[in-house]
Structure 1
Amino acid sequence: MAAEPWHANLSFSDRLDKIVQITAEYKSAHPDAPAAEASKKAKELELDIFSSSNEILQYQSQCNAQIRSLQTQPKSRDQPFGFGNGWPEVVEEGTSSGKAGTKKIGRYGEARHFQNGLFSEIYKATIPYDNPEGFAGEPGKAVALKVTFLMGTEPPHDPAREIRTLKKAAHPRIIPLLESFPGPDSTRQLVLVTPFMPYDLAMILRNGYIAEDHGRTYLRCIFEALAYLHSQGIIHRDVKPGNILMKSLSGPAYLADFGIVWVPDDPTSEAPDEKITDVGTTSYRPPEILFGNKSYGCSLDAWAAGCVAAQVITSSMKPLFDSGDMGSDLTLIQSIFKGLGTPTLEMWPEAEKLPNWGKVQWVEYEPQSWDVLLPKASVEGRDLVSHLVKYQSTERMSAGAALKQPFFDREGA
């Protein structure tokens, strides 16, 4: 299929968001369908729409129509997306969930599909008892096998760089890489093996409540991970609830998915002043990359972490800023402006040098106070977020400084 001109303007994150939405609605409409089937069907539906559409608006409209269609389909049983009573089935480590629906991946037998992204699928398996000498994992423990499809990846996605980074940046709050190996088709697949984490923050937020001490633990862990990465000049570039994993609801939390990480001395990372701006996920993208800044730094992660913190301290599934049903950058910019106020060069001096600054005349919104933006948050929680979610990237609090905030000193922290 020859690429249409508008395809270049549709970001990876836009397509992934639509696939995730379609997957969720398909699984909700067909609760008995395996997760792998729901994912495969969603990818097929999205690709068909992508291939047949003549422009972005038509693509977005058709995807939203497909989602609405699935929402109106009768459900065979009353269960939320894939989780039975709200949480995924967690098979005890060292036990088998049966051979039906499993496959062998490398030396891991009876691997069962767990979830997936646009370029990868995650399987759950157990560490074999005939481990090679020096292997870090314990036999019988549950692991996640991330099978990445190399032929589908494109910059900034780079699974080989993800492997190098996880080896280089080992830290107690970063998901550890146990091993990696070529998949069944060695020219097309690469498998990353990590400890299995049955929960992620997005899943927990969908449940509608986070205990205050649990939320504080999650955030402390993530800021510890970011402080370590940033001390080495590494930018994660996709901090969001779905990339924050937990083994139990009380924590600890681990930062995961380094597929689009930027590492200063890695041979496949872009030049410092020519970084790719199509990074991050919709509502967690900071304003500087929305306006074309290719020289961004670690403060990109600080903004995203601030947006995550806003959701954690309010137990809200709704992001701090909204990119709309179509995942539009313009809608996201407007949402940011409505919340923080339409910026002037006095408020945001670095904007003057941004490539796309001044190309659109915006409505002049007045800034809202943080007690209006986060009415259910504690004073300490609002203060934490307000120091991270700032227009001027040089004024955003560092991850290390965030850990010293009063929010983490409260009783029970």
Structure 2
Amino acid sequence: MNVFLSAGQEANEARKAAREVEDEILKAASSPDEYQNAIKEAITGLQGPPSDSPEQHEQPEGPEILNTEGPSIGGYQYATFHAAGQTSTIFKAQAKDSMAAVKIVALKVTYPAMMKPPHHSEREARLLVKARHTHVVPLLETIRESGGRFVLVFPFLRQDLENLLRSGSLDKAQASMIVLGLFKALEHIHALGIIHRDVKPSNILLKTMNGPVYLADFGIAWSPDDKDSEAADAKITDVGTTCYRPPELLFGDRSYDTSLDMWAAGCVVAEIVREGHEPIFDAGPVGSELGLIKSIFTTLGTPDDHGWPSARKYPDWGKMRFQAFPAKPWKDILLGATGQAIDFVSKTVCYESTWRLTAKQALEHELASQIIR
């Protein structure tokens, strides 16, 4: 993560200096969170605001222009900071080989030794190789560097669904393309037994405004036959992102399956089809589990044995008593959505995981390619 750059340094000198500072932070950090916070502070102090602002995403298509003072990482040069994640830092860089099929790439730089479950970048690389597909973000290669750095190389993709939703620039043709691409990706990985565990708008990427569409970020994905995945009946429940987490996680289900992704994907579709494109659930300003539970219950209604027969087997079900909230009508939850869209969302965003559509069934849903019309 060579982010500590001086404008006048040559690339190799900048890289050496950056590594020295990074190594100091790595040695001093007592936890992954402390390490990531130190890195983010250094980035903010020395490079200014991150370049993943709306202006960055909305740049016009055309020749890529990079800062030619950035350092080299493996076979890539002019690496410049793009975004900081929870356990990684993303750089935009250019292939040194002028004949390379992909000239502008995203370098996801990680430190596996500093990661804690469910995050695992080496497992992510293995699963991306296993899950190669038209709608799964392509892993171009991996690079191991001194100091324990592990770098995943992807094509640099300009756009994501999150930005399109928040900017109000998503049109119907794009929405149909994105929904179909998402469920084709899920159908493929679910057939392999892989659970993504973090489906959300910011992990749905587009190369251009007209596609292709890719499901990205397999950093916490689970596979039954990967050596670094948990046992099938002892999966980690601290997965997913706030308002896209299904209710079984909130009550301690550690035997969840691919239906977990279908709840999250249904929530994404709900955002796409409803007026305003806001999430249908809200975990509150601090993203608390109780806040999310209340939001789900006040929206879908407080579940009972009839509506959620599996709930009683979850470890944390029954520990608290909840107020009985009535379910809101789906037409009120999804204002402006068509009947087909409402039917689709109601069959994926439902309490009982065994009742949710599978990805294959989602693609076979009536007028699936027109669910947003």
Query: What is the TM-score of this pair, normalised by structure 1?
Result: 0.76
Please say if residues 340 and 371 of structure 2, whose CA atoms lie closer than 8 Å, have aligned partners that are also in contact. no
Relative distance call for 1:400 and 1:296 in structure 2 (3 A) is same
Say which SS state the counterpart of residue 146 (structure 1) adopts: strand
The corresponding residue for 1:83 is 54
Structure 1 unaligned regions, length at least 5: 1-7, 37-80, 132-136
Counterparts of 1:267-346 in structure 2, within 5 Å, are 267-314=227-274, 316-346=276-306
Query: Could you tell me which of 107, 118, 125 is aligned with 2:86?
Result: 118
- What is the 5 A alignment of 1:210-225? 210-225=170-185
How big is the shift at 1:88? 4.1
Letter of the 1:117 counterpart: G
After superposition, the C-alpha distances for 1:256-304 in whole angstroms (9 at most, x for unaligned) are 0001111011111111100000000010000001000000000000000
Q: Is the 8 A contact 1:270 1:276 kept in 2?
A: yes
Residue 58 of structure 1 corresponds to none
Question: What's 1:138 paired with?
Answer: 101
Structure-1 residue corresponding to 2:119: 157
1:233 alignment counterpart: 193
Distance 2:361 2:372 in 1: 20
When residues 289 and 411 of structure 1 are mapped into structure 2, their CA distance, relative to the original with a 3 A threshold, is closer
**SS state of the match for residue 110, structure 1?**
strand
Deviations 1:169-206 (A, max 9, x none): 10000001110011352x2x210001110111111111
The answer to whether structure 1 residue 175 and structure 2 residue 137 are counterparts is yes
> 8 Å contact 2:337–2:372 — kept in the other structure?
no
Unaligned runs of at least 5 residues, structure 2 = 1-30
* SS class of match (1:104): coil
The whole-number CA distance in structure 1 between the counterparts of 2:247 and 2:275 is 24
Distance in 2 between residues matched to 1:158 and 1:412, nearest whole Å: 36
Structure 1 residues 107, 209: CA separation in 2 closer, same or farther (over 3 Å shift)? closer
Name the CA distance, whole Å, in 2 between partners of 1:395 and 1:202.
28
Shift of residue 388, structure 1, vs aligned partner: 0.3
Q: What's the % identity of the aligned pairs?
A: 42
2:96 to 128, 141, 150: 128
Compared CA separation, residues 281 and 412, structure 1 to 2 (3 A): closer
Structure 1 residue 382: Cα displacement? 1.3
What does residue 99 of structure 1 align with? 68
SS of 1:406's partner is: coil
Contact 1:286–1:303 (8 Å) recurs in 2: yes
Q: For the residues of structure 1 that align with 2:155 and 2:57, how far apart are their CA atoms?
A: 19
- 2:339 corresponding residue in structure 1: 379
Give 1:97 deviation, angstroms: 2.4
Question: What do residues 213-245 of structure 1 show as CA deviations (whole Å, max 9, x unaligned)?
Answer: 110110100100000111111100000111111
Partner of 2:158: 198
Q: Distance in 2 between matches of 1:173 and 1:409?
A: 16
What is aligned with 2:76? 108
8 A Cα contact 2:108 2:151, kept in partner: yes
Is residue 127–residue 138 contact of structure 1 (8 Å, CA) maintained in 2? no
Instruction: Name the residue aligned to 2:110.
Output: 148
Count of aligned residue pairs for this structure pair: 338
How far is 1:253 from its partner?
1.2
SS of the equivalent of 1:103 reads coil
Contact 1:324 1:331 in 2 (8 A): yes
| Aligned mates of 2:372, 2:116 — CA distance in 1 | 44
What is the CA–CA distance in structure 2 between the aligned matches of 1:212 and 1:194, rounded to whole Å?
Answer: 28
Contact 1:105–1:184 (Cα < 8 Å) also in 2: no
Once residues 105 and 387 of structure 1 are traced to their aligned partners in structure 2, the CA distance between those partners, rounded to angstroms, is 46
User: Post-superposition shift, 1:252?
Assistant: 2.3
Q: 2:197 is matched by which residue type in structure 1?
A: R
Q: What does the per-residue CA deviation read over 1:125-182, in whole Å, with 9 as the maximum and x for residues that have no partner?
A: 1222277xxxxx515x211111112233100111111011011110000001110011
TM-score by length of 2: 0.84
